[in-house]
Amino acid sequence: MNTTKTIKVPFIEGLGSMPFDKLDLAMEEKAAKFSVNELNWPDDAPYAPACNGAVAYSKSHLAVIYHVRGLDLRATALEDNGRSWEDSCCEFFISDPCDGTYYNFELTCIGSLLASKRKSREESTPLTLEDLGKVVRFSSLEHKAWDESNRIFSWSVAMLIPFSLIGIEEGKLPPSLKGNFYKCGDLTAHPHFLSWNPVGTPSPDFHRPEFFGELIFDRA
């Protein structure tokens, strides 16, 4: 498999300071849309909830929003840097433009966040709680524990990542970056592992930068 999707990311002024209702509206009207619908491992995990999103950027932040509809709702990681991937989770991985590493941002349905700077699945440096606090987050759900299955839930989450957290100085945004969007829920009643850009591994593995797509920044 050697498929590389591209998405043109538009500029929207002031994203980092918008309340969620205004952010949601701005992203719906102006952001680039994507679907997290690649079922890369149908034998291991055949379930595929609906997961659609949008991405845009401002001078200081990269904004990603997800809208999910599907079975089950699991949220056990109530604090940051917990085991987000085991819960109902949306993820965004993006390359560092300077040193060949990448960052994984794993956001649960209630807004808990896990993030690291990585060379691979095995080699990583977690972002500090102070740095995670700089990521603006929203969730349509109450921040509490959830563990329900065989019901349909609809929910939305958003995160606005400061460029300074991913190795980009203000005013020095490169023309493009490599990245991928994911939807997972390892310990939900219907485990699933979906991606935006296809991942060509024999079993579920999101930590594979060679299968990232390309985000191309539409200059303001």
CA distance 170 to 142: 34
| The pLDDT of residue 73 | 98
166-192 per-position pLDDT tens digit: 999 988 999 999 999 999 999 999 999
The answer to whether 71 and 47 have CB atoms below 8 angstroms apart is yes
38-69 per-position pLDDT tens digit: 999 999 999 999 999 999 999 999 999 999 99
Domain ranges of the chain: 6-217
Which whole-number Å values give the CA distances from 199 to 21, 96, 118, 120, 211, in the listed order?
33, 19, 18, 15, 5
The answer to whether 56 and 15 have CB atoms below 8 angstroms apart is yes
CA distance 4 to 120: 20
Check whether 71 has a pLDDT greater than 90.
Answer: yes
| The pLDDT of residue 220 | 63
Reported as a pLDDT band with limits 50, 70 and 90, residue 3 is: confident
Chain centroid offset of residue 11 CA: 18
Check whether 1 has a pLDDT greater than 80.
Answer: no
Check whether 2 has a pLDDT greater than 80.
Answer: no
120-169 per-position pLDDT tens digit: 999 999 999 999 999 999 999 999 999 999 999 999 999 999 999 999 99
CA distance 44 to 191: 9
Q: How much of the chain is in helix, strand and coil states, percent to nearest 5?
A: 15, 45, 45
- Provide the CATH topology of domain 6-217: Immunoglobulin-like (2.60.40)
| The pLDDT of residue 46 | 97
Tallying the residues shown for the chain, one arrives at 220
